[in-house]
Amino acid sequence: MASIGPRYDRDKNLIGWQARVIRKGYPTSSKTFRQKKDAEQWARSIENEMDKGIWRDRSEAEHTTLKDALNRYAQEIIPTKKSGDREIGYLRQWQKRPIAKRFMASIEGQDVAMSIKEMEAEGKGPNTIRLHLALLSNLYNVAKKEWRMSSLDNPVELVRKPKLPQGRDRRLIDDEETRLLAACDEGLTAWLRPAILFAIETAMRAGEILETWRYLKDAEGNKVKTKVSDGLQWSDIDLKKRTAHLTKTKNGDARTVPLSSRAIQLLQELPRSHDDGRVFGTTYEAIKQAFARNCARAGIEDLHFHDLRHEATSRFFEKGFNPMEASAITGHKTLQMLKRYTHLKAEDLAKRLD
């Protein structure tokens, strides 16, 4: 049976109404509300669930704040994820938001929507916001399945996600490839040339080819320069089989990349003078700066090193590869993502119509 009683503070001031539901075979459920009618409504809903046999224990979710749940997530879940270094930064930012003080069970879609507006006001882009929401959503799924919070509804599923901007469609046009490579030779950055050509031949990500460092936040929120990729190693290369095996990729899945004859030739011409086993003895940060300088020298505008992955993926389709074959090389998990990286030239498609 349910009982509704007033709750007072130390000065005997009424602060709310506590509802208690006591039913044989069930643990005692209780919750305090500011209004008596809300306490009565809650008690009736609990009793109805018990009558129908669909009652679920809410105590854990109703007494665990989002901040505390995020701390547990940081201790138990993030260490098992390959993207943990990046996710810890998103997690700490969630903990600083007003929503973090709320109990897990009390957070609704409108609360998450408010957080989205906060992030937009802070200048965060749609994709960054989506990554923050992905972490929060996974936290709720874990809490529901593994942390005795089976009554939880995932509030992230109730909000509209920021719309991603249309993907870049920048490809090399006309004689840009020739001009870019010539600029590398003229600008005393010939070491950049094989990295550019290898990226075009393989569609590998910059972090898969090159050693990469980023500033990530530690547990206290301080920025720390951290290596996030070792880059391609000679031990990953099998020249006889013409493959490069990548054990650590952005999406977390290992893959083996087939190498073209041109890619093999590039590798055979590279010196093996790096003690740490790297194929390309430089970092993505150095490549990025040198790439921008050479583009300027060659008179090429709005071209990024990452655009070479778009170029390579599109060339695979122009060579006749089907989506399954292309995705096996590039590592795209979904056709939608593969489509964002594929930009076929209309003039090339027109030739196939003859």
Contacts (Cβ under 8 Å, ≥6 apart) of 2: 19, 20, 21, 22, 40, 43, 44, 46, 47
Amino acid at 223: K
Amino acid found at 133: L
Q: Do residues 140 and 156 touch, judged by C-beta distance below 8 A?
A: yes
Known active-site residue 97: no
**Given the residues 31, 86, 171, 205, the one annotated as active site:** 205
Active-site residue, 332 included: yes
Q: At what angle do helices 284-297 and 192-202 cross, to 10 degrees?
A: 100
- Can you tell me the distance from the alpha carbon of 42 to that of 331, in angstroms, rounded to the nearest whole number? 50
Q: Which residue in the list 250, 255, 274, 293 is annotated as catalytic? A: 250
Which residue in the list 58, 132, 278, 332 is annotated as catalytic?
332
Is the separation of the CB atoms in 137 and 154 below 8 Å? yes
Catalytic residue among 73, 140, 284, 341: 341
The end-to-end CA distance of the chain, in Å, is: 81
- Residue 63 known to be catalytic: no
Q: Is 130 a catalytic residue?
A: no
309 is catalytic: yes
> Considering only CA atoms, which of 340, 332, 320 is closest in space to residue 170?
340
Separation of alpha carbons 155 and 140, rounded Å = 8
Active site residue 250: yes
List, in sequence order, every beta strand (DSSP E) within the chain.
2-8, 14-21, 29-33, 212-217, 223-229, 237-238, 243-246, 255-258
Q: Is 298 left (phi over 0), alpha (psi -120 to 50) or beta?
A: alpha
Q: Which pairing describes strands 223-229 and 237-238: parallel, antiparallel, or unpaired?
A: unpaired
DSSP 166: P
CB 137 within 8 A of CB 144: no
Task: Spot the catalytic one: 132, 217, 309, 315.
Answer: 309
Q: List the catalytic residue out of 23, 130, 255, 306.
A: 306
Question: Which active-site residues does the annotation give?
Answer: 205, 250, 306, 309, 332, 341
